[in-house]
Every structure is written in structure tokens, then in C-alpha cells.
């Protein structure tokens, strides 16, 4: 579980000043799965104190390398940005429950902003001779989308559509608009009944839901987006997996710091650990309105 891995690359992405690509060589690549993360010690002192959870974006087993992307957002990630190739980092992981890998049908990936990174690993892992994969991605503007992943999407040869908030690239608006039109196109989006919020209800989720729908959705991005994606998928009768983020301490499930609230099948509320029970959850079980 604890590894020292060698930094192969730690580079700022062109034109997008605060996002870095970090490539690490070691043994995590042997077992890492799409949707899992590594818990990284940044700096060599006890301040900042805690490890940083970063999702795995690429797994290269033959080379023993994993690729991570992170945004410099505070002291910890700034320290991480200063690490040079050849140095080593302490990693705990791979941690958590990742995405389900479909073996047939269609997989719709929905990404908001830098939420695209863990979905790269999923695209790589899915057998695309058996599963039709399409990526829907939303970002602030053309500069962001170009710098962060459009090239990767192109190289992967995956079908994709983008949306930008300022309309400078793809469809103007949110990625959830893309998802709504995609679902409409398939004719699976049932109009809202007006009976209120479907979230957390059992409305229309029989056992064979996914099989009937013929496709599934995996999403990563801001919480509000994941909620909207889940709502659309419930209307469409599609299985949906979401990758959640939460402030985290131990990363091994011991401290109960990083919980999210879920409703179990018998209707009871439960607090699950994002680090071990997640970070990928069934969108339908997540209680999106967090109350005490």
C-alpha cells in the first residue's frame, strides 16, 4: 500500500498555467484501476500535514507508469509542482473503488472541467471493440479545453462533444445540456412527471434498468454537475456512476473524515467513506442535499 515512486515527468500543461501532468514510475501501475486515486505526501515536513488525493488518469502497466493531473490550488499542490524528474514521492495506494467496466453496449462519459482526467483512464481500460464510448465534456472556454485534453481525446480516437460556458468552443452552455440532447436523441429521456424530485426516490429503477437502457453513464466533475447528470440519468432510466470528491485525511477508511451521505436500498441513511467505499458511487444512492 505504501510506495516510493520515481517522478518521470512533472510538467505544466501548455497555456493552462496551473494544471500539471505528473508521471510516476513504480508498482502502483500494476494494480491501479480507472476511478481509483493515489494519496501523495507533498513536501518533506509536517506542514502542510496531510497527503493529497489525486485520481489516476493513465495506467501504463508495461512501463510501470501512472499519469496524474492536478491543479495547483494551494500550498500542497504548489509544493508538488516543484518536484523534479528523478526525485521520488511517497504514495499510498491505489485507493478506492473505481468505475465499473462495461463489456458491451454503450458507455457515455460526462466530464466537467478537470473531471475529465479520471475518465481518460476509463476510456483506456474499456474494450472499445465491444463497447461504444462517447465523451461529453464541458469547460470554461476554448483555451481551457484545448490545453487540458482535446489533444488527448483526439489521440485516443474517442468520439466526443464539447460545451463551453462562453461559447468559444463546441456547444455554448453546460455539459449537462450536451447530455440532455444526447439522451433526447436516443429517445430515452422521459418528460418530468411534475411529481417533484426523482433523486433519492425509487421511481423507475427496477433490477434490469441498465440492461433495458442498453447504455450506462460515468461522470466526474463538480458536485452540482454530478447531481444534474444523475437526475437526467434517472429520467432516462440509465445506470450512472459518479466520482465524488471530499476533503480527506487518512485515505484508508479509518478516520471517517471524507464521508458522503447515501440512501441504502432499504431507505436508511448511511454515511460512506469516499476514500474506500468510493470515490465512485452509484449516482442514485447519493443524497445530494446534504443535511445533518
What is the binding site for another protein (CB under 8 A)? 1-2, 41, 46-51, 76, 92, 246-261, 269-271, 276, 290-292
Residue 30 Cβ, how far from another protein at the closest point, in Å? Answer: 15
Strand, coil or helix: what is 217? strand
Nearer to another protein, 17 or 255 (CB): 255
Residue 252 Cβ, how far from another protein at the closest point, in Å? Answer: 5
Rounded Cα gap, residues 187 and 195, in angstroms: 21
Give all strands of the β-sheet with 131-139 in edge-to-edge order.
Answer: 171-172, 159-164, 131-139, 105-112, 215-220, 240-243, 280-282
The neighbour count for residue 216, using CB atoms within 10 Å, is 21
Residue 267 Cβ, how far from another protein at the closest point, in Å? Answer: 14
Rounded Cα gap, residues 273 and 66, in angstroms: 24
Rounded Cα gap, residues 276 and 36, in angstroms: 10
The neighbour count for residue 119, using CB atoms within 10 Å, is 29
Contact present, 84 and 112 (Cβ < 8 Å) = no
Name every residue whose Cβ is closer than 8 Å to that of residue 167 and which is 6 or more positions away in sequence: 173
Burial class (CB in 10 A: 0-12, 13-18, 19+), 104: exposed
Nearer to another protein, 8 or 252 (CB): 252
Give the pairing of strands 215-220 and 240-243: parallel
Nearer to another protein, 123 or 258 (CB): 258
Residue 242 Cβ, how far from another protein at the closest point, in Å? Answer: 15
Nearer to another protein, 2 or 208 (CB): 2
Residue 70 Cβ, how far from another protein at the closest point, in Å? Answer: 16
Residue 29 Cβ, how far from another protein at the closest point, in Å? Answer: 18
Burial class (CB in 10 A: 0-12, 13-18, 19+), 173: middle
Contact present, 58 and 66 (Cβ < 8 Å) = yes
Lookup: cell for 116: 475529465
Nearer to another protein, 169 or 260 (CB): 260
Nearer to another protein, 104 or 255 (CB): 255
Residue 123 Cβ, how far from another protein at the closest point, in Å? Answer: 29
Residue 204 Cβ, how far from another protein at the closest point, in Å? Answer: 28
Nearer to another protein, 216 or 243 (CB): 243
Nearer to another protein, 163 or 280 (CB): 280
Contact present, 39 and 95 (Cβ < 8 Å) = yes
Amino acid at each position: 500500500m505504501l510506495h516510493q515512486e520515481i517522478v518521470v515527468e512533472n510538467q505544466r500543461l501548455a497555456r493552462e498555467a496551473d494544471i500539471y501532468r505528473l508521471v510516476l514510475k513504480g508498482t502502483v501501475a500494476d494494480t491501479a484501476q480507472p476511478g481509483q486515486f493515489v494519496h501523495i505526501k507533498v513536501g518533506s515536513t509536517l506542514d502542510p500535514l496531510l497527503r493529497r488525493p489525486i485520481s489516476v488518469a493513465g495506467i501504463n502497466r508495461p512501463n510501470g507508469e501512472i499519469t496524474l493531473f492536478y491543479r495547483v490550488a494551494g500550498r500542497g499542490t504548489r509544493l508538488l509542482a516543484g518536484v523534479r524528474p528523478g526525485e521520488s514521492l511517497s504514495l499510498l495506494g491505489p485507493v478506492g473503488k473505481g468505475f465499473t467496466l462495461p463489456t458491451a453496449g454503450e458507455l457515455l462519459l460526462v466530464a466537467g472541467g478537470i473531471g475529465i482526467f479520471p475518465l481518460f483512464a476509463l476510456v483506456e481500460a474499456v474494450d472499445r471493440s465491444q463497447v461504444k464510448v462517447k465523451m461529453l465534456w464541458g469547460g470554461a472556454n476554448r483555451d481551457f479545453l484545448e490545453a487540458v485534453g482535446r489533444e488527448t481525446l483526439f489521440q485516443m480516437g474517442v468520439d466526443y462533444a464539447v460545451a463551453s460556458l462562453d461559447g468559444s468552443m463546441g456547444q455554448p452552455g453546460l455539459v449537462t445540456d450536451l447530455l440532455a440532447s444526447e439522451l433526447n436523441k436516443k429517445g430515452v429521456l422521459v418528460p418530468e412527471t411534475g411529481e417533484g424530485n426523482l433523486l433519492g426516490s425509487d421511481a423507475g429503477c427496477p433490477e434490469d434498468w441498465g440492461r433495458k437502457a442498453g447504455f450506462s453513464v460515468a461522470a466526474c466533475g463538480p458536485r452540482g454537475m454530478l447531481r444534474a447528470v444523475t437526475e437526467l440519468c434517472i429520467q432516462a432510466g440509465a445506470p450512472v456512476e459518479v466520482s465524488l470528491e471530499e476533503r480527506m485525511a487518512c485515505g484508508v477508511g479509518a478516520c471517517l473524515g471524507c464521508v458522503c451521505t447515501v440512501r441504502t436500498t432499504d431507505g436508511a441513511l448511511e454515511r460512506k467513506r469516499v476514500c474506500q467505499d468510493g470515490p465512485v458511487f452509484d449516482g442514485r444512492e447519493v443524497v445530494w442535499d446534504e443535511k445533518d
